[in-house]
Amino acid sequence: MNFLMKWLCLAFCLSFGLAWATDMPSANDIASKLAAPTGQAPVSGPQSRSLFGQGPGRGITVNNAKPEEPAAIDLNIHFEFDSARLTNEGSVLVGNLGRALKDPRLVGKRFRIEGHTDGQGSQAYNQALSERRAAAVRRELMAVHGVDPAQLDALGLGKSQLLDPSQPLAAANRRVRVINLGGTP
């Protein structure tokens, strides 16, 4: 009986891990979205932020840009509670972003990393937290993944641009947005 319980627990943990891994966008997924021509998103259909990878979104949200808007993606990068310290899952996703930014389609491009919070708390508190989180992602990209600092700007926007304003406390609002600014550093 003890063996069966251990086996079932292991099977559950592995299936949860595989579901989590399929929900995380790969470096190629991220690069494809950031390299999309202005005003186009390469993924069609409804986007999903589901933990179990339903739909083609795989943990990212692609907003169909207007013709004058640059390619951008919203990544659900996880931080420790009330902190700018990345969780293990957050570090993995930043690693995928780091590999994406080295993709040949993105060579010579500049990027803005925007930190966003949900609507809970004061504007001043959320502004400071979003600035620290955007800076943490930028630091990790430079220090761990060798991204040229001249390619990266960091900006905190607090709760000023909620992804889902009808639900200000929704997890979707807590995100890091990466915008392809084009040009050369």
Torsion of CA 87, 93, 95, 101, to 10 degrees: -140
Mean pLDDT of 64-87: 86
pLDDT at 1: 56
SS3 (DSSP) at 87: coil
**Among candidates 52, 54, 98, which has minimal Cα distance to 75?**
98
Question: How far apart are the C-alpha atoms of 10 and 16, rounded to whole Å?
Answer: 10
Where do the domains of the chain lie, and which CATH numbers do they carry? 2-182 (3.30.1330.60)
Q: Which residue has the higher pLDDT, 46 or 112?
A: 112
Q: What is the mean pLDDT of residues 73-81?
A: 93
Q: What is the pLDDT of residues 119-155, one digit of tens each?
A: 999 999 999 999 999 999 999 999 999 999 999 999 9
Rg over alpha carbons for the chain, rounded to the nearest Å, is 17
Strands of the sheet with 72-75, listed across from one edge: 60-61, 72-75, 175-182, 110-116, 152-156
Predicted pLDDT at 61: 53
Query: Max Cα separation, the chain?
Result: 63
Full-model pTM: 0.75
Q: What is the mean pLDDT of the chain?
A: 81
* Residue 175 β-bridge partners: 116
- Residue pair 130/157 in contact by the 8 Å Cβ criterion: yes
pLDDT (tens digit per residue) in 13-68: 444 443 344 479 999 999 999 998 765 444 433 444 444 444 444 555 555 555 67
